Structure 1
Amino acid sequence: MLKPLRIKRYTKYLFLCCCLAVPNLALANFDFNANCLKAYQNIFELKLATARQLIANEKKVHPNNSIVPLLENYVDYFYLITTESKTEFDRLEANKSARIDQISDDDKTSPYYLYAQAEINLQWALIRGRYGAYLTAAREINRANNMLQDNSKKFPGFHLNGKGLGLINAVIGALPDGFLKSTLSTFGLRGNLQQGLNMLDKLAENLPKSSYEPFYEETVFYYAYVLSDVAKSPQAYAKTMKYTARIADSSLLKSYLQAYVCTRNGHNDEAIEILTNRPSGAYYQAFPYLDYLMGIAKLNKLDYSASASFDRFLQTNKGVNYIKDANLHLGWIALLKGDDAGYNAYAAKAKSSGYTYQERDKQALNDANAPVPNKNLLKARLLFDGAYLSKAAELLNGTNADDYTSPKDKAEYYYRLGRINDDLGKDELALANYQNAINVGKNLKYYYAAKAAIQMGKIYEKSNPAKAKASFNTAIGMKNHEYESSIEAEAKQGLKRLGN
């Protein structure tokens, strides 16, 4: 069960407002008053309709308060994250310039002057990046970074600068080589993943002890994203659960963060429990992705009732992402239930519907175009993703490589067995499995061999830096396979850790 609510009752807002409303924090037209704080809190509970009403009231009472356009942008940002709608993105994007204009005409002596503009630029860059608009996103990231750097020099005690700077450092530091990274480099931006993580960790640790405590949830939101998706940190689960524990159970964003990190880090049953008990009602922004996430978690334990969650996602989703992947998962359910025709029908939908902005949709398209998956390997893959390691090992240990006829299946067999033994702490077995995956799959278009080399490098990091370096370089040397850019980036991070 989720831990009980420890803080955040609206009766505290007047006190918090007084803490914030000191001369260097809330000057005339940047007034983060009690009403604004209440709207901000509702945004981070994903009660967007309530937040919109509070913001509208603030505009009537204080039409020149330049915190309002910042809050309006937060609402748009989370609305677009939860809807995944490219159409809504195109409609709402026009709001950006008017908000920046209002803020840029205001009090230049306030720490919120540059901070608010930087936040708006950064939020639009993050959304834009989801749709591949990398050039404009790079410009916005550069603009946000410059503003936050300037603001840090002018107001070194304004701790909120560290939130955006930590995020920018981490994301740029982990970017694979490609258009976005090269474009950012032309602006002189060179990130550092560890530095970004350190900045966000320090903020998450210290904000509750300061007058900036109301901004804690936002910091944790970005920190959890960086830990899980950017750094792929082994500490992602522990740190996310630690820092989200003090957020109100009434926050749907908390349920999302916790469930997401649980599904990504081997706490599958906990994810199902969190999603089952998540807050609901008319006050909350619709969030179809959570049904998709429930489907993933259920199927990871081979619970075929997952189909209802995927169906609900496809029926309520108005966005462009995870459509291919949801259809592919429905196809897997059909296949595992013995319905080959059903699998073929869903695989066809995975090819024809949805988009490929997200990596999961790109991989779903690859899987749909590949030969029909081996059922035994598919079950092992799903069980491993849910961290049901003993069950997955039992499945594969009952077979051997000769039971699989195609090179693809042989490579996957060794790779899956390697991952299972790796997570079970059986390093020598894992290394042998990974080497076999490389031997069989190094010239195939599938990711198994390159990812096996990455995993070998991580094992060797603990005891043999030279072999670790060789393994990471092996991964980099493999070309023309799935996930090539992200695997290469992961290998380069490994080399960086080794001091190369």
Structure 2
Amino acid sequence: MRAKEPDNLIRLQLENYIDFFTVYITEDEAVFEALEKNKDNRIAIIKDSGLDNSPYFLYLQANIRLHWALARLKFEEYYTAFLEVNKAFKLLEANEEKFPRFLPNKKDLGILHAMVGTIPDNYKWGVELLTSLNGTIHQGKSEIEAVIKNAQTNQFTYEVETLVLYSYLLMHLENDAETAWSQLKSGKLNPKTSLLACFTLANVAMRTGRNDEAISILENRPGGKDYFEFPYLDFMLGTAKLRRLDQDSDQYFHRFLDRFHGRHFIKEAYQKLAWSALMKGNNTLFETYRKKVLSKGNLVVGGDKNAEQDAKSNYIPDLTLLKARLLFDGGYYKKAYEQLLAKTSSEFTGQRGQLEFTYRMGRILHKMGKTNEAIRYYSQTIEEGRNAPYYFACNAALQAGLLFESVHNTKAALQYFDVCTNIHPEEHKTALHQQAKAGMERIKETSH
């Protein structure tokens, strides 16, 4: 494209996509620093293009800035990331005024509008201090739905990207994972030719209890010299196999660790290797991997923080609870239930084990449709664990809120979402509070 159409500004966006995914997938700081210089060059070329009257003039500048803002968050450059987001937002708003029917603009604005109402507390300072962002989940969702509807009858270059963004919005902000899955499956994502399609479909499959399908997608992914190295897919495959209690899950975590030179998910990979060793009865290897959790990786993402806290506490998981947890996470609810059916909380050692039992029973019964029993276990977990450092009570409150929201008992749902935001565990707090706030936002919007 560069040789044939040097003046086609879209090539700058495509090159920026390549840089962004390279940085985001490798998490290599040297690569980030080398490629980051391209951002200003691309924006300068667009500004000097003389195409001020094109709807792409401001849109491409904003889109390039948004990608680099996401990349900066990966490397903890929060201040600069928020400044980039604000510049992008202002460019998109200005473009919306000039070209109100320009669909690519609505795609990016829709995501920003939807996300702003659920910004985690630890990022709010940046949004309030450094940006002029505004919007609601409903507003953003409506904008993206309008784009998708138009794309069904008209050719739209960003159709697949919009569908993926919409699916993640449904899953994370609307708590509608089933619709997210059906949207993706009915779309144009082809996991046989695209590693990003593999990642997206497998990720949503794993979040919707379709673990076997995720394994199939990941095992049959394309490879070879024509494809970019994507080690995180091995981490995902190892995780999916561990959830099925497969004996060979550890080989995929080793492949991930051997090939990945980034900063995230390393502690979590060693934690999962430790679990695999424990389930095979190898306590010595469990201890070896526990020490690796403490000596390797970084403490940025929730999974790594959780792995570090577990390792520091010298906590050895109860095998029954561990298997129930993994089976539950894989969507094998009946098998998870069978692990715990004959147990009572008093049979488990210490507060953590007892809380995990009541919490896990609540989650399993919830998924099995036994809602009254689920609420009883959620309430017990909240009552006994709200001041404990573990995430069980906080997530029990969130799940109870989601349960009541699903049966349109908005008063009870709001009460439980509020309880969730007022419990402050040492693990997963940011993600849990964000989901509770998204729930409050949904109820507030539908009640108007």
So what's the TM-score if we normalise by structure 1? Answer: 0.84
Equivalences for 1:70-149 in 2 at 5 Å? 70-106=13-49, 107-149=51-93
Q: Which residue of 2 aligns with 1:168?
A: 112
- Residues 224 and 459 of structure 1, relative CA distance in 2, 3 Å threshold: closer
- Asked whether the 8 Å contact 1:104–1:113 carries over to 2, the reply is yes
Question: Does the 8 A contact of 1:172 with 1:181 survive in 2?
Answer: no
CA offset digits 1:349-407 (Å, max 9, x no partner): 11111112222212222222231111111101000000100000000112111111201
- Residue 86 to residue 194, structure 1, CA distance change in 2 (3 Å): farther
Q: Does 1:497 align with 2:429?
A: no
Quote the offset at 1:119 in angstroms: 0.7
The one-letter amino acid of 2:265's match is Y
- Identify unmatched segments of 5+ residues in structure 2: none
Residues 63 and 238 from structure 1, CA distance in 2 versus in 1: closer, same or farther, beyond 3 angstroms?
closer
CA distance in 2, matches of 1:271, 1:385: 13
Match of 1:366 among 309, 313, 324: 309
Percent of paired sites with the same residue = 37
Equivalent residue, structure 2, for 1:352: 295
Matched, 1:337 2:280: yes
Conserved 8 A contact 1:172-1:192: yes
Q: Supply the distance in 2 between the matched residues of 1:97 and 1:229 (Cα, whole angstroms).
A: 32
Matches within 5 A, 1:431-446: 431-446=375-390
User: In 2, distance between residues paired with 1:158 and 1:328?
Assistant: 47
2:351 is aligned with what amino acid?
A: P
Contact 2:397 2:417 in 1 (8 A): yes
Task: Give the drift of 1:470.
Answer: 2.1
Q: Distance in 1 between matches of 2:124 and 2:386?
A: 27
Cα pair 1:410 1:440 within 8 Å, conserved: no
Query: What is the CA distance between 1:189 and its match in structure 2?
Result: 1.1
CA gap of 1:442–1:217, structure 2 versus 1, over 3 A, is: same
Aligned match of 1:303 in 240, 246, 249?
246
Residue by residue over 1:40-83, the C-alpha shift from the partner in whole angstroms, topping out at 9 and shown as x without a partner, is xxxxxxxxxxxxxxxxxx2x444444333222111101112222
SS in 2 for 1:492: helix
Identify the residue that residue 326 of structure 2 maps to in structure 1. 382
Aligned-partner Cα distance in 1 for 2:246–2:415: 40
Please state whether the residue corresponding to 2:40 is helix, strand or coil.
helix
Distance in 2, matches of 1:131 and 1:111, equals 31
Q: 2:423 aligns with which of 478, 482, 497?
A: 478
Quick one: distance in 2 between partners of 1:354 and 1:159? 41
Contact 1:174 1:231 in 2 (8 A): no
Q: 1:133 to 1:232 in 2, by over 3 A?
A: farther
| Contact 1:456/1:468 (8 A) holds in 2 | yes
Alignment of 1:199-348 (within 5 A): 199-212=143-156, 214-229=157-172, 231-234=174-177, 235-244=179-188, 247=190, 249-348=192-291
Map Cα deviations across residues 237-261 of structure 1 (whole Å, 9 max, x no partner).
222222245x574222211111111
Tell me which amino acid in the other structure corresponds to 1:426.
K
* Root mean square deviation, CA, Å: 1.9
- Matches of 1:255 and 1:99 in 2, distance apart? 29
Deviation at 1:296, TM superposition (A): 0.7
CA gap of 1:167–1:495, structure 2 versus 1, over 3 A, is: closer
Measure the CA separation in 2 of the matches of 1:440 and 1:356.
Answer: 28
Deviation string 1:6-59 (CA, Å, 9 cap, x unpaired) is xxxxxxxxxxxxxxxxxxxxxxxxxxxxx4xxxxxxxxxxxxxxxxxxxxxx2x
**1:69–1:498 CA distance, 2 compared to 1 (3 A):** closer
Equivalents in 1 of 2:425, 2:242: separation in Å?
30
- 1:419 shift after superposition: 0.1
Q: Which residue of 2 aligns with 1:3?
A: none
How far is the alpha carbon of 1:196 from its aligned partner?
Answer: 1.9
Please say if 1:399 is aligned against 2:332. Answer: no
Paired amino acid for 2:409:
N
Q: Does 1:152 align with 2:96?
A: yes
Corresponding residue SS for 2:121: coil
Q: Tell me, in whole angstroms, the C-alpha distance in 1 between the residues paired with 2:94 and 2:291.
A: 52
Q: Is the 8 A contact 2:305 2:427 kept in 1?
A: no
User: What's the TM-score, normalizing by structure 2?
Assistant: 0.93
The amino acid that maps onto 2:114 is: A
- The residue type equivalent to 1:185 in the other structure is E
Q: Does 1:197 align with 2:141?
A: yes
Kept in 2, the 8 Å contact 1:266–1:385? The answer is yes
> Partner amino acid for 2:278?
L
Structure 1 moving runs of 4+ over 4 Å: 229-232
Out of 342, 351, 366, the residue aligned to residue 422 of structure 1 is 366
Aligned counterparts of 1:465 and 1:229: Cα–Cα separation in 2: 19
